[in-house]
Structure 1
């Protein structure tokens, strides 16, 4: 599913226009990105937690020349799914069981 398809699903399920759904989806994504940029985690109960992780510097190789290079450390976004999400997709380690995330 891409962003356009997500907007269509949100519009249909919330019974709102695609324009309003697009604003809502864009606002959510911007809010998550802004909080991560500020070093904050974003936890969505029953869905998961978006965090920022530090990727350590490492040695690599230039694929064209084979020459060794140093790859700098970097901050990267990460996502830890909640148990409910794991269960919804059928993760056997959580006793998963198919679709359904608890709705408020």
Structure 2
């Protein structure tokens, strides 16, 4: 999914690519259904999902950013945990 290719028969690769493109279209549609304007609201996709949305999504506006580090979510939670633990230690 990262490179858009695989060592499989072209027929099956096309099926996989179509399904992933359909998935990204559904994600963008759901964002729009929640009331967000995909052309104006800043949107950031993070982690492995960002790779999929960037490589297979059909939206390429300047307001959409991609943080493609597949560990980004884990790093963010680790950072939040450290902040929490530091706060707990200070109040104890």
Work out whether the TM-score is over 0.5: no
- Could you state the TM-score of these two structures normalised by the residue count of structure 1? 0.34
Largest Rg, 1 or 2: 1
The structure with the largest helix share of the pair is 2
Report the structure, 1 or 2, having the larger strand content.
1
Normalized against structure 2, the TM-score is what?
0.37
